[in-house]
A and B are shown apart, each in its own frame.
Chain A
Amino acid sequence: MRDSYEVVIIGGGIIGSAIGFNLLKMGVKDICVIEKSYVSSGSTGRCAGGIRQQWSSPMNVRLAMRSVELFKNFEKDVGMDIEYKQGGYLLLAYTPEEEEDFVKNVEMQRSQGLDVEILSKSQIKSKFGFMNLEGVRIGSWCQSDGHANPQIANIAYSMAIKRMGGDFITHTKVESIDIANKKIVGVQTDRGYIRTNTVVNAAGFESSKIGKMVNVDIPVYGERHQILVTEPVNHFLDPLVINFNHNYYIRQTKHGSLLMGQGDANPMPGEDLGNSIEFLEEMSQKMVRDFPLLRNVHIVRQWSGAYDMSPDAQPIIDESKDLSKFIYATGFSGHGFMLAPAVGESVAEMIVHGKTITMDISNLRMDRFKNHIEIEKNVV
């Protein structure tokens, strides 16, 4: 750790790491990422690794599509195999309202150039005969969606950053941010002071705390989500399946284990990341019903992590109006991993060029909350 950097990124999760990597790629060498614990200790370390493009607003679809472009080249660009697989995403509709939404979304997504289609129940049956499709009306299917290993991706970015000449400082906590004349002058950590003019707040569900240090209100809070993993079984499931109606998602990792989770009925706000036995009970009931072959499969581990929730369940990516060069990329609301490569690129562009170049992400600015809030529905 040196005593001064051009850019200091707070938070060594997937977002902070992607931003750091892209800055270095764009030639900004004098940067550091500061992480209070180990790499992937935050939400990224708890994440299921789903990568989807089927969103309900055109800008989000485009951003996700850009991310997929970058994921395709991840191994070459960042230098590590992250088990990326375009096995598709299957979304299931059970009610007439869901069906209507799916049809509308698919039409919009196709207009953005996404390879998405509606599948009839019998088409789903013939593709995924092992599922119990009782009550299913239609499905929305996108083959280029997929999944990867978020923890390895996070570590891959961190190693690339060090390799490219940046600093990645773990077990170091930012305690305050120093301001003089409405400008950032430095960052105080528990292991020393760093001079800098540019700070990126990528502290995940704790980014509101970083905001408080400089009196910037960041409406992001943690919400506990639980997840479990099974023993490895023979490969049978290519896509990640999302079932909003039964409230779960499931995917199979390269290793063969199955990852699955749900949104708890009364999600716990805050940072308590404990586990509940009810989660296992609820998951077992519905997962065995919809995937009968899971019946005798062993659950090996359960854990929980915080979704980094924003008021409309969409990310907040912006530079503060009140404090220049205080940039935040947060509030990913349970889908920050899949967006990380594209967000890393856009935020780096904001720092280098003062605005985004590749993508238009103006819909993710903070000022949207002044108007009415349109909540992203497609979230588990």
Chain B
Amino acid sequence: MMYDAVIIGGGPAGMSAATILGDKVKTLIIDENDRLGGQLVKQTHKFFGDHEHYASMRGFEIADKLLKEIQKKPVLISLSSTVIGIYPQNTVAYVKDGQIQKVQYKKLLLATGAMERQLPFVNSDLPGVYGAGAIQTLMNQYGIFPGKRFLIVGSGNIGLILAYQLAQSGVEVKMILEALDKVGGYEVHANKVKRLGIPILTGHTIVRAIGDEKVEGAVIARVDKNNIVKGTEREVVVDTICVAVGLTPLIELAEQSGAKVSYIPELGGYVPLRDERMRTTNKDVFVAGDLSSIEEATTAMMEGKIAAMQMVEDLTGENLEDKIYDDLNSLAIFRSGPKSAKIRTGLEKMGINVPKIDLPKPQRFERYDDSKLHAVIECTEEIPCNSCEYACKFDAIKVGININSVPSFDPAKCTGCALCVTSCPGLAIFMKRSEDKAATLGIPYEFLPLPKMDDKMWGLDREGNYVCDVKVKRVVKNPNKTNIVYVELPSEFADMVRHVKYPSKESPYVCRCEEVTLDEIEKVIDLGVTDFEELKRLTRVTMGPCNGKNCKMVVLGILSKKTGIPISSLSHGTSRPPTKPIEFRAFLKEGEE
């Protein structure tokens, strides 16, 4: 059978291409899974990106939406079909129902996506070590949990999102390790997991898995320029290790089709060489999506469309230049932010120039009038997303032409409707009203069960540490499942609390650095220790690497509550240098390095 266009891979790239090719030419789309969607079907979180490309919808919902569009068109879909090779005479061979099928194409689009990278460590073959994708598939598609206590290696968006989803399902995520000295994924994603109390240890890696027949723990250690720092090894007790250290493009079919590949680490490893319009070195073969560079669903969809339009031009001679130009332009803007620097470098190596655009600084507005309910936007990293701007019907939030810009927020225009809170994929927007003593805080909440009016909960800070008790005042349910829980709390803690949680049997951590719980602190106070300094020396609270930055206020709050002495009359200790932990080697004279 001969097709004008054959698409291999039914993820967002392949599906978007099908929506365009479908009307115009005879099209076949092939995917090995039993449904279209690729990576999207596993994603239960809200996506970032351009509002026009389904930002703030959940991954599987985007797949459904694309599918509906495809179904309107005469596209042939071959599911559960694994392509095993591209052969001469433009032949694609695939297995379906145990049978080999052959088709021919005039133009081929490869959108096979990527596969997960492996990480070598001792015992990485033990049962209990999984890739992120495998865990997502088990959990989000089949509702199966491979373990109860997870260690996640890798803090890219995938590792962060997985940690969040695991926590949503009620299993414990011990920690996330990141070998580099900063978190790989978006800050807002990192913040989402941190406030659940999941620590992200940067500059750390896994040394080996522990266990005889299955994982019973792991040895982790600090790393410095790929070397494990001796003496920093320690054991953590986990039953599942999840490796999320990135993806690498699946290039086999591209190579077989005659497209040249080249090693460009910034794009994910070996990638097919291609031009701006996704054409490979074989004029009849196009690529799109993660196969062409490990990026995002949004870029995959744009690339799929651009490739498809060029294929239509090739096949029919129809002029789609204006539309292609528009999409190329949005893609360039999408990639113009700081988080896309790597992609830009990679594309340049291929001869594709993507301009870096300096983004305008967000506009600053007057101090908030705290006595009325207003949004608090904690989105400070330049990432390609503008869902808040679209959500706001009152013009209070502006991202502007470049989707990478940080939102500007004008509190005077904010009506307190909280639509932005539910739309933000990073859960980085909160509602706040603060009066003399008590404050109201609205917190995006994606956990079950939903809190009920008047329930007492724990207010947790940005690191997931206990701050104070809060009382639930109102719960706003939302069809997109990002609900808002409004709580009442003492106003001095309104800028500290960023998550709420039902009290658990175990006492909450107040100081995570030193693992000191509320219970321990209260016990020592009950022994008659009412001085912050003595309390600190006995419990080590505030004595960790953060020097109490995170928990000092909380400890003072507890002390004040139990002794009746107002916080202002308590001594709060000394702020000692260094304010951030610093390695000895930083002080070594040059030449000794």
Which A positions have Cβ atoms within 8 angstroms of B? 38-41, 45, 151-152, 155, 159, 162, 170, 231, 233-234, 236, 255, 275, 280-281, 283-285, 287-288, 293-303
Interface contact A231-B233, CB-CB below 8 Å:
no
Interface contact A300-B547, CB-CB below 8 Å:
yes
| Pairs across A and B, CB under 8 Å, 20 listed | A151-B538, A152-B538, A155-B538, A234-B231, A234-B232, A236-B231, A280-B587, A284-B587, A288-B588, A296-B229, A296-B585, A297-B232, A297-B583, A298-B545, A300-B544, A301-B543, A301-B547, A302-B576, A302-B577, A303-B576
Contacts of A152 in B (CB 8 A): 537-538
Q: How close is B217's CB to chain A, nearest CB, in angstroms?
A: 15
Q: How close is B229's CB to chain A, nearest CB, in angstroms?
A: 5
A58 to B4, CA, bound (A): 101
A355 to B589, CA, bound (A): 56
Contacts of A255 in B (CB 8 A): 540
In the complex, residue of chain A having the shortest beta-carbon distance to the beta carbon of B233: A234
Q: How close is B230's CB to chain A, nearest CB, in angstroms?
A: 6
Contacts of B222 in A (CB 8 A): 296
Question: Chain B, 515-545, contact with A by CB distance < 8 Å: what is the 0/1 string?
Answer: 0000000000001110101100110100111
Contacts of A275 in B (CB 8 A): 576-577
Interface contact A285-B588, CB-CB below 8 Å:
yes
Interface contact A298-B582, CB-CB below 8 Å:
yes
Contacts of B533 in A (CB 8 A): 38, 40-41, 45
Contacts of B545 in A (CB 8 A): 231, 298, 300
In the complex, residue of chain B having the shortest beta-carbon distance to the beta carbon of A168: B528
A45 to B534, CA, bound (A): 10
Q: How close is A259's CB to chain B, nearest CB, in angstroms?
A: 12
Besides A40-B534, A299-B584, 7 other A-B contacts (C-beta < 8 A): A39-B534, A162-B528, A283-B587, A288-B584, A293-B231, A298-B545, A300-B578
Q: Are A299 and B576 CB-contacts (below 8 A) given A38-B534, A40-B537?
A: no
A45 to B536, CA, bound (A): 11
Contacts of A45 in B (CB 8 A): 533, 537
Contacts of A236 in B (CB 8 A): 231
Contacts of B65 in A (CB 8 A): none
With an 8 Å Cβ cutoff, the count of chain B residues facing the other chain is 36
Q: How close is B204's CB to chain A, nearest CB, in angstroms?
A: 12
A288 to B531, CA, bound (A): 37
Contacts of B534 in A (CB 8 A): 38-40, 155
Interface contact B589-A285, CB-CB below 8 Å:
yes
Contacts of B592 in A (CB 8 A): 285, 288
Q: How close is A344's CB to chain B, nearest CB, in angstroms?
A: 20
In the complex, residue of chain A having the shortest beta-carbon distance to the beta carbon of B584: A284
**The residue from B230, B547, B586 contacting A293, defined by CB atoms under 8 A apart:** B230
Q: Are A159 and B581 CB-contacts (below 8 A) given A301-B576, A302-B576?
A: no
In the complex, residue of chain A having the shortest beta-carbon distance to the beta carbon of B222: A296
Interface contact A301-B578, CB-CB below 8 Å:
yes
In the complex, residue of chain A having the shortest beta-carbon distance to the beta carbon of B529: A155
Contacts of A159 in B (CB 8 A): 527-528
Interface contact A233-B231, CB-CB below 8 Å:
yes
A275 to B527, CA, bound (A): 33
Question: Chain B, 219-247, contact with A by CB distance < 8 Å: what is the 0/1 string?
Answer: 00010100001111110000000000000
Contacts of B589 in A (CB 8 A): 285
B99: interface (CB < 8 Å): no
The 7 closest A-B pairs by CB, nearest first: A284-B587, A298-B581, A151-B537, A38-B531, A284-B584, A296-B229, A38-B533
A45 to B585, CA, bound (A): 28
Question: Chain B, 258-302, contact with A by CB distance < 8 Å: what is the 0/1 string?
Answer: 000000000000000000000000000000000000000000000
Contacts of B588 in A (CB 8 A): 284-285, 288
A40 to B230, CA, bound (A): 35
Q: How close is B435's CB to chain A, nearest CB, in angstroms?
A: 34
B571: interface (CB < 8 Å): yes
Contacts of A300 in B (CB 8 A): 544-545, 547, 578, 581
A47 to B63, CA, bound (A): 64
Contacts of B233 in A (CB 8 A): 234
Q: How close is B312's CB to chain A, nearest CB, in angstroms?
A: 57
Contacts of A288 in B (CB 8 A): 584-585, 588, 592
Q: Are A299 and B234 CB-contacts (below 8 A) given A280-B587, A285-B587?
A: no
Contacts of A283 in B (CB 8 A): 584, 587
Interface contact B232-A233, CB-CB below 8 Å:
yes
Q: Are A281 and B587 CB-contacts (below 8 A) given A233-B232, A298-B582?
A: yes
Interface contact A39-B229, CB-CB below 8 Å:
no
A296 to B528, CA, bound (A): 40
Interface contact A284-B578, CB-CB below 8 Å:
no
Contacts of A280 in B (CB 8 A): 578, 587
A264 to B344, CA, bound (A): 52
Contacts of B581 in A (CB 8 A): 231, 298-300
Contacts of A298 in B (CB 8 A): 545, 581-583
Contacts of A285 in B (CB 8 A): 587-589, 592
